[in-house]
Amino acid sequence: MSQACNKIVPTDDDLQMDTKNSSMKVAAGEQYLASAQLSLAAYQLEQFGSAQEVKVHLRAATYHLERSIGNYDKALSLLRPAKITEEAKNWLREFDYDRFFSEKVASQSLLNRPDIWAEIATWTKAAKPSESILSLRNQLAAVMETLKSANDKNLLETIRKTVSGLAEAQIFGTVAAVLNDVTPLDTFWISAGIQEKVMLHSVKEARA
């Protein structure tokens, strides 16, 4: 989650911006470390059936998820959505989300997950792009709670559920990150209808 949350949803100063960016990077790194530990847990269970070894990896995954969630919380605490300018709000409303998504899927920059895209686009259009971070944070929290419920009888089910949940969270994060890499206030992705109106207005002014 980069430029849009840097420019569209400001922090109070540059130092806080740097802290927010650092927190986001650490959160993403911890998320991938949690995923690696889950993969190791699945391997241990499949190859050796060792419940003790599996639980070691599940505890490690829980630790990394806790750190990831903590860093997302820190980033969210630094963002100031109330300070979004009217110019930025208009840009977020008029952004051509459907065209952007279609082109990114066609270029294989994004998986074809219109359900995730619609959720993120709805928040962004409403000038609440930081909600995407909150949603990702809550998805990770749900995975962590499932991990904490693990016991000797439900290890396989726990691993399946958490691997699936974490994979969904990673897809969600990727989709949100691709949108947030758009240069803030860039008019290229503004809807065609708005562009036509601007062009017509320019023509009328030129003729006048």
Contact call for residues 112 and 105 (beta carbons, < 8 A): yes
* Residue 168 pLDDT > 50: yes
Query: Mean of the pLDDT values across residues 104-114?
Result: 95
The count of structural domains within the chain is 1
Mean pLDDT of the residues in the chain:
89
pTM for the full model?
0.86
Q: Which of 175, 77, 64 is nearest to 134 (CA)?
A: 77
pLDDT at 192: 63
* Residue 201 pLDDT > 60: no
pLDDT band at 206 (very low <50, low <70, confident <90, very high): low
* Residue 191 pLDDT > 60: yes
Report the C-alpha gap between 149 and 1 in whole angstroms.
30
pLDDT at 195: 53
Q: Which of 58, 10, 73, 65 is nearest to 32 (CA)?
A: 65
* Residue 111 pLDDT > 90: yes
pLDDT at 1: 42
- SS3 assignment for the chain: CCHHHHHHCCCCCHHHHHHHHHHHHHHHHHHHHHHHHHHHHHHHHHHCCCHHHHHHHHHHHHHHHHHHHHHHHHHHHHCCHHHCCHHHHHHHHHECHHHHHHHHHHCCCCCCCHHHHHHHHHHHHCCCCHHHHHHHHHHHHHHHHHHHCCCCCCHHHHHHHHHHHHHHHHHHHHHHHHHHCCCCCCHHHECHHHHHHHHHHHHHHHHC
Q: Which of 208, 184, 164 is nearest to 5 (CA)?
A: 184
* Residue 50 pLDDT > 70: yes
* Residue 157 pLDDT > 90: yes
pLDDT band at 182 (very low <50, low <70, confident <90, very high): confident
pLDDT band at 179 (very low <50, low <70, confident <90, very high): confident
pLDDT at 122: 95
Structural domain harbouring 154: 3-207
Report the C-alpha gap between 171 and 100 in whole angstroms.
17
1-47: pLDDT as tens digits: 445 666 688 888 888 889 998 999 999 999 999 999 999 999 999 99
pLDDT at 202: 58
Report the C-alpha gap between 71 and 74 in whole angstroms.
5
Beta bridge partners of 6: none
pLDDT at 189: 86
